[in-house]
Structure 1
């Protein structure tokens, strides 16, 4: 199984952008930067039909014997980083967009925090009702004082992230086909509530760049991009909402699936080489 390889591909196509481009406080409420795989808080999505709190992937599994499935849910959380300047005359801190400490500029911005949740499902619990698991992320608050080379207090950095709650549901049903097959459904919902703060905390209570990595023993995933003839109709009847599944292992392997909000081709490992070339070009441009 190639979970690590699929993880690297997902990081390349979904997570590298936010990590490489720090988000200044002047625009941190613009959701455009976090545009892929955003599952918004349930109460905001219920009030605005343009938003979604749910994503779902369906795919086919071929195999007539017992199977063991691993589902890895991955997403980013937006953490607020605020920089403060120390005002010694007033004896207090003042929030600022940026602060220079011995020639190093520290900026107020949004930061991505990575989260993963693994669910293992055996053949006995896979059919029909399947299994559900609640995913909880605790909130966090951290304060770091900033001192210059002479030891003087010049400011502080405060990082704050909100608690999140999501639900992951895995189920499967037999598919009428010439070969033994199951339609596998993985459904994830952001059940966090933004509450009265609404739009102000929308980004910090969203699941960002949400995606899934599936691996299987005792069976194989059917290509959703180029299915064999016997599975074409069943593939067409699969419902994918906000996620698109592709085979993620090397060509010829069918034991790992990657479902992302970006449409990829099967076996997209060469994206890693392209991303490395782009990063090298950016580094050269930056001098």
Structure 2
């Protein structure tokens, strides 16, 4: 998968995050308030007081060459009535080719009843190191006499709007981990409802995804995921099992709600056991190493007792509930980049020995554990 394909795959996940939620029926209360990410409403409905906006903008740093061309993909959904109680999302993707030497520029666009404009500008950075700050904005300019009803405004809005930025020469710099000279310029960048992350690398790349959901650099889709479930805050395994447990009448209603809901139910109904097993979890590219690691001057190995202190940055949200719990180290692993991972089972969790027998562990880095005793 090349970097643009990776950007599209992650962008698709952003595009449909929260599109419809379990139990995938239009009648479900949680599916009656929709479209929470990247919504650009018409100006007549926009209001900072209610948190609805007609525009979004992103700034990032680029090190261009003399004739660098910026390629912009604007991707969004448009709400289209499917039946009386449900609007389905129709995908749209617009392409813009903007030589940096010709910026600033404004590019109007028209999609069915939607109108808008994409703007871009580039400003050289101060100092001896070169580079430039790129700003791209998207504006919904649709003329619509607002009736104050959000569901009606959404039919004139860009939904889950995001951008894929790429350059044919030169590269973008990470805003999360920039080089030292670029840090003042990064601090001066301003993001408005879009957040730029590199695709394909974590320091510099020719592709940036500007997402309405904050991500880390170089995000990717888990290989174990067999298809979209539209709820990234849930666990695939749990959602799949819940969907399997729906009654026949509930499944019929879900199938009638939206073609994407029907695809979920059909896929779950036909899922073989070995594919369901893959959803339970995975640790990528790790191998057993020396059976110990030194933490705070103490050698930790299989059988060691530790206290857990999960890091906020990069941690699974569920790990936050494990802070302060004690665990038993089962194995020390190292990934292909040489990073160490400590596999543990919780001391107060029923079935810990059974999990150990099946190789089901929770994984933490050495700086997330506190040794409680020295192994024998």
TM-score normalised per structure 1: 0.73
> Gaps (5+ residues) in structure 2?
228-234, 245-376
Question: 1:1-287, aligned counterparts within 5 Å?
Answer: 2-18=3-19, 24=26, 30=32, 32-45=33-46, 50-82=51-83, 108-126=85-103, 130-138=104-112, 163-199=113-149, 201-250=152-201, 254-269=205-220, 271-273=221-223, 275-276=225-226, 278-279=235-236, 281-287=238-244
1:123 positional shift? 3.3
The DSSP-based 3-state class of the residue aligned with 1:232 is: helix
Post-superposition shift, 1:3? 1.9
Q: Which has the higher contact order (CA 8 A, sep 6+)?
A: 1
Q: How many residues end up aligned between the 2 structures?
A: 234
- 2 CA distance for matches of 1:44 and 1:25? 26
Q: CA, structure 1 residues 25+2, in 2 after alignment: closer, same or farther (shift >3 Å)?
A: same
2-side partners of 1:182 and 1:62: how far apart? 6
In the aligned structure 2, how far is the partner of 1:29 from the partner of 1:40? 19
CA apart distance, 1:192: 1.3
Distance 1:40 1:196, change over 3 A: closer
SS state at 1:12 partner: helix
Q: Is the 8 A contact 1:175 1:182 kept in 2?
A: yes
Matched residue SS, 1:265: coil
Shift of 1:167: 0.9
Corresponding residue for 1:146?
none
Aligned CA distance change for structure 1 residues 17 and 51 (closer, same or farther; 3 Å): closer
**Long gaps (5+) in structure 1:** 84-107, 139-162
Structure 2 match to 1:96? none
Q: Which has the higher strand share?
A: 1
2:333 is matched with none
Supply the RMSD in Å over aligned alpha carbons.
2.6
- In the TM superposition, what whole-angstrom CA distance separates every residue of 1:44-66 from its partner, at most 9, and x where no partner exists? 11585632111000001013432
Query: Quick check: 245-254 or 182-191, which moved more?
Result: 245-254
TM-score, scaled to structure 2: 0.57
- 8 Å contact from structure 1 (residues 65, 219) kept in 2: no
Distance change (3 Å), C-alpha of 1:217 and 1:196: closer
For residues 23 and 80 of structure 1, what CA distance do their matches in structure 2 show? 15
Q: Is the 8 A contact 1:8 1:272 kept in 2?
A: no
Q: How far apart, in 2, do the equivalents of 1:77 and 1:124 lie?
A: 33
1: CA distance, partners of 2:99 / 2:121: 11
